[in-house]
Chain A
């Protein structure tokens, strides 16, 4: 028995006719020479009525043009095409999605004799692919809408933040004049003092908003780096400010360096102040806050640690996103921009801001190159 003989019980002619896939062969001019019973049956026909007719008669219009513009050229050039999606026409006129391979049968001398196609029904598969395409289009549209929304929001924030400064400046000036009024009662002085504190807070919020808007509107954070202003006293001032706001909290502040740091001192102070204020807000009241600044090697490093409940795993990844707010008393809540702005400041200095949080402590570590890197 030669290898081309069918094994016992199998019959090649029957296999061709009733295999669970469709076979069709055409002449180079596109007319059908053979078509198996399976495919004919799928099309609601018998093979005899299709032989001699153009292949186009069983292709959908889209299929015909795809065949002419893509398949036929590819078949001529490479002899075969795999995994093509093509719609065939049922005798009722319905389209049947199929997937298949095609190959040219050529002579020894390369003359094109037949084009053979093997086809499988792909109704579910095509439905699935279509839904994927639709989802992709929908996702693209959604993403565009979201982008537009974010841009509008940022523009709104920028305008709002900017325009609020004028009335606020007037109130600040007015409060300053009131404070110097000799006739002001003690109660009046207290009230003016409280107004002043609220004003400081309002200014802080507006500065944060403007930082956010500048950062996301493409302007970037304005950072003016220099190495001529000593950083250590600036940090000491930040600590003393926070001590004044929270006199009952213990803050350990080893600031152990006097080297110059190539940075924007105002921005680093802003970062330090944000981290420290966070530690006051979220840290356990009975545990000391550690504020540590040093210059290991050629880097500048600032660490702020506090005790208390660790930050939940889920929150850790979002911490540096704008408008993220943790669990804090509403009166203490800001806009949720502090850590976002701090991490932007870190980036603008070529540095990083990272957080570790467990039962022992929550520790933010900011590190940056101490000197300019080219």
Chain B
């Protein structure tokens, strides 16, 4: 089924702002929605056309577009990205992806050559589970424990949150928002996205990524440790590696300026 461009933009709650010769598309990772990128995106809107979106089932996307079959693999999320790129007629654009979306971006560059010619991976991991000669940082048992924990957690149970509370202002007044109006993911969707994310193995895909890539690695990230970032860098044909001072898994929130500067220097 091919959706009309407007239908894709509506489905993925695509928000376009700013202006510039090039377009930067920001993709959120597991656990939240496009608001994660607001602090960084807001600072780049004077130089770039900035695109934010929610994967289907997340944030303010149209949940009726969700199907467990399509989003049971990363390829379903990649299709979201490619369809958005087609709807906006993107070429020579920059893809900035956090966490699992760094890998989704890599897959999108393979799927749709020319759409994105620069790729920024923030906290990427091609595989979370340790393997022979590879350290992903987690054992299979740990990932099972994690998935089990996520399934029983309240977080993401706020599926009933009213969509109306999400404004479309470029830099919304964060404090005026209702409780947990961010990261408002359908529990079923969150459950499946967690499985897809933490059980995926995309190591073999890295070699097929031809575009220039920047790997942004946080100093202390329990989800994507430094050695995983180095592995990604070593296995990409055309990449730069940068270790951020920022700690944690979400430097775009904890240190938006540092992330912004790294992106600006790269593109």
Contacts and interface: CB of A to CB of B under 8 A. Distances in A.
Nearest to B223: A68
B248 interface: yes
A61 B29 CA distance: 19
B152 A70 contact: no
B150 interface: yes
B146 to A, nearest CB: 5
B145 A72 contact: no
B253 interface: yes
Interface in B182-231: 182-183, 220-223
Contact of B146 (A61, A72, A83, A133): A61
Most buried by B among A30, A60, A65, A130: A65
Contacts of B182: 73-74, 77-78
Interface of B: 29-32, 35-36, 99, 138, 142, 145-146, 148-156, 174-175, 177, 179-183, 220-223, 247-250, 253-254
Contacts of B254: 28, 72, 76
Contact of B142 (A61, A81, A86): A61
Interface in A54-99: 56, 60-66, 68-74, 76-79, 81-87
B154 A84 contact: yes
Chain A binding surface SS class: helix
A77 B146 contact: no
A68 to B, nearest CB: 4
Contacts of B247: 29-30
Contact of A72 (B99, B181, B248): B248
B163 to A, nearest CB: 17
Contacts of B223: 65, 68-69
Contact of B152 (A28, A68, A77, A126): A126
Chain B binding surface SS class: loop
A66 B145 CA distance: 12
B146 A62 contact: yes
B177 A129 contact: no
19 contacts: A61-B142, A62-B145, A62-B150, A66-B149, A66-B153, A68-B221, A68-B250, A69-B31, A69-B249, A70-B31, A70-B183, A72-B254, A73-B36, A73-B183, A73-B253, A78-B181, A78-B182, A85-B153, A85-B155
Contact of A83 (B154, B222, B249): B154
Contacts of B152: 85, 126, 129-130, 133
Nearest to A137: B151
A82 B181 CA distance: 12
Interface of A: 28-30, 56, 60-66, 68-74, 76-79, 81-87, 126, 129-130, 133
A79 B175 contact: yes
Contact of A66 (B150, B177, B179, B248): B150
Nearest to A71: B155
B155 A70 contact: yes
A287 B88 CA distance: 78
Contacts of B248: 30, 68, 72
Given A70-B31, A73-B253, A126-B152, A65 B180 contact: no
A70 B156 contact: yes
A62 B249 contact: no
A81 B180 contact: yes
A78 B175 contact: yes
B237 to A, nearest CB: 29
A129 B182 CA distance: 24
A85 B146 contact: no
Nearest to B224: A68
A78 B174 contact: yes
